[in-house]
Amino acid sequence: MKKIVFKPIGVIHSVFTKAKGTPIQPAAAGGAEGEVEVFKEYMRGLKDLDGFSHIILIFYFHKVKGASLTGIPFMGKKERGIFAIRGPSRPNAIGISTVRLLGVSNNILHIRDVDILDGTPLLDIKPYVPSFDEKKKVRIGWLEDRIQKLDNATDDGRFTV
């Protein structure tokens, strides 16, 4: 099937300059702040975004070394299917994170709970809407007895160059 080509609309700035030690999810980021720099030609698209408290960032895992169909997740010890884990070594290296939007100044978004590596290319921004994005009666498979370790989980650099 045909290839699909995207172009970054911006870049994410954070205090995490190396994969090792970067929080693995916004919920484990301990309030870390960062900035999303949206390239000026896309600035008009940010209109009305400041009314939302949370936004979904879709980005490219630019530092990942190769793709794999299985991986050992940061929060586990067993090899799992790549689509059953959230790690970056995926066939299409797309990441999503829902972060808190603190404010918008021109083309800069000030964000909190950042679990994203500094310099990450941004592909899209969507407003987070609980009626769309929250589900009830959820089962979380292999994560069921591991999720309580989330607060202390950080990247150990295993997936990156």
Closer by beta carbon to a second copy, 98 or else 154: 98
Rounded to 5 degrees, what are φ and ψ at 30? 55, 35
DSSP character string of 55-102: EEEEEE-TTB----SEE--TT-SS-EEGGGS--S--SS-EEEEEEEEE
Site for a second copy in 101-120 (CB under 8 A): none
Residue 18: count of CB within 10 angstroms of its CB: 12
Residues 117-136 that bind a second copy (CB under 8 A): 121, 123-135
Verify binding: residue 81, a second copy, rule CB under 8 A.
yes
Query: Exactly one of 31, 105, 106, 140 binds a second copy (CB under 8 A); which one?
Result: 140
3-class DSSP assignment, residue 113: coil
Which residue of 33, 56, 63, 107 would you call a contact of a second copy, by CB under 8 A?
56
From the list 21, 30, 40, 91, which residue makes contact with a second copy (rule: CB under 8 A)?
91
Pick the binder of a second copy from 48, 77, 103, 106 (CB under 8 A).
48
Least CB distance to a second copy at residue 31 (A): 14
* Residue 94 to residue 59: CA distance in whole angstroms: 6
- Least Å distance, CB 156 to a second copy, is 18
Q: Which residue has the tokens 């589900």?
A: 135
Nearer CB in complex with a second copy: 128/158: 128
Q: How far apart are alpha carbons 80 and 82 in whole angstroms? A: 6
Binding a second copy (rule: CB under 8 A), the pick from 21, 30, 45, 119 is: 45
